[in-house]
Structure 1
Amino acid sequence: MAYQIFLAVAVMALGVLACAGYFWLSNKALDLVFPVGDDDVAIASRNLARRAVIRPWLFLGPAVILLAVYLIYPVVATFILSFYDRTGNQYVGLSNYTWAFSDREFRESIFNNILWLAVVPAACTFLGLVIAVLTDRIWWGNIAKSLVFMPMAISFVGASVIWKFIYDYRGEGETQIGILNAIIQFFGGDPQVWIAMPFWNNFFLMVILIWIQTGFAMVILSAALRGIPEETIEAAVIDGASGWQIFWKIMVPQIWGTIAVVWTTITILVLKVFDIVLTMTNGQWNSMVLANLMFNWMFRGGGDAGRSAAIAVIIMIAVMPIMIWNVRRARREVGGH
């Protein structure tokens, strides 16, 4: 263990030193190529302008290269692969896409993804907004915010394991260790296999993601609420507005842009949901989603590179409009219009 810790620290230290060395050497080389100590003012001015243009790319260059290698290339390769057979050798045209939209399991995955999209972003955003408003009104609000935000520090797999114990079911007559079934049994009800209920199990899985992401929504919306001018709130109070009216007619309209960003960010996450379903049900009992279906076709049963790539492309196409909308909105806000 000590050796592994030492190795990890050494790798991090070498990485930091390598980055510092790269930036120092690249800036030094730039200064040597375009010197400004020349007596000719015109040449010095031109070299300074060239430095200003090139220097940002010295910092951005490594990141751009990594993005090209690990993001752009895989996207292009996946798109091309979606037109080939299971081995990735024979061109089959649109056959993989034709199969996808005629496959029962794919349609089931689409339906489940739509369910997740309809429930999770709206629930996270609404609960985050409500909690942000309520915690700003109590003296122990920061403690409450910390508790709500805490699940964000847990991985999706870790959170799924926690909720697996909550939903746990033991056979009839056995003591129920799952919190939910233990409560139901205490009040005389019948324990249920919650995650094995077709259709309804999707909602039980959604609760996990809502539990995790509500903290994110709360933090962002709480910051937005603090940016609302106090004068508008005070004027509404003087005019006799109720707390409900202040919330819906004063607060929400002024942070609507932030609400939209939070909602779209969680929507993108939901479209890619994978870990929770894999850990809780493995896609059984009609709980399959697109990411898990893609994983199954790629890595199970011998694998099918073409079909899994087609599903990956469909997921990407579904995510892109929301990402484009987010980017355009961010640009408008930065530009001030």
Structure 2
Amino acid sequence: MNADLLARTQQPGFVDPELAEILRSGPPVGSLDATTNIPELRKLLRERKLAVNAAAGNPSSSLVEETDTNIRTRDNDEIRVRIYRSSRSTGLGPVMVMLHGGGWVLGDLDNEALLCRKWVDYLAALAPEHVFPTAVYDSYDAVLWIQTAKNAVSFGGDLTKGFVVAGVSAGANMTATLSHLYRDEGHAPPITGLYLSIPSLLAPEAVPDRYKESYRSRDENKDAPVLNERALKLFRNLYQDDPRSPLMSPFVFETGHENLPPTYFQVGGMDPLRDEALIYERVLREEHGIATRVDLYPGLPHGFWSWWPNAEFSKKHARDSIEGLRWLLSNRAG
């Protein structure tokens, strides 16, 4: 990890120069606690995601096929999943499972649609209704559904060519959690890589004493745009989590972090979640010898690419996302 870039990422009060100019010349930026009306928040987030998709442009629908299907979960409920496949595929290819973000409360299948479409194109050339830990187990059941060979083959997948589990924000939290469950239960084939974008990995109540000095971003960025202390409190109250459970704070899994897959991180310098990602990455790399790759974004808040999709830093994020997946596929475990 570049030491100078890391220092800038952790510099209190630093704002990316391009973002600083946007904030000076544009309208005020709200946060995800702008209202406690959950339907309104869901509408706001959906509008932002659809705007990002429109601004960035999507691969042609003739190149990427999308199919929605329902799968059965362990509580005898059903969840809807969306399957993306390249119409140009002539054989079986690697598989990626994406868990969308939204603080366990917001979001839907369109949240990470742009990334999924771009990844497919590259490879070819919610609470308060369902509280903790329902979302974790629903996500895990989706991964186990994919893990069944016949299901992967049905949409053109070969898990031995790559089995990446990805998540953004709350989705990244569940990605890290289920990677431990999958490892501990001895499933095969193995997950070959993890993609953790702006992840929540360690709630303040669960931070071990030895890491408290490095755990500063929750305080430094408590008033940051987009995601701040108030929004985090709102989401966690709705999710009704247990902060000391490894299902909420995967950093504290009693079985440790040995034999986890190579892991790619995206970390924002103005994100309250910044330091838990950096601590987790360091522990994986230094204490367990797990291959990691980190893209740092100094002076940028949580999920910045959804709010300023035309900014150069968001275009860089889009390029980094593809390179991160490329790295995972070339450094896969198993």
Q: Shorter-chain TM-score: what band? A: under 0.3
Instruction: Determine which structure has the larger helix proportion and give its number.
Output: 1
TM-score by structure 2 length?
0.24
Instruction: Determine which structure has the larger strand proportion and give its number.
Output: 2
TM-score by structure 1 length?
0.24
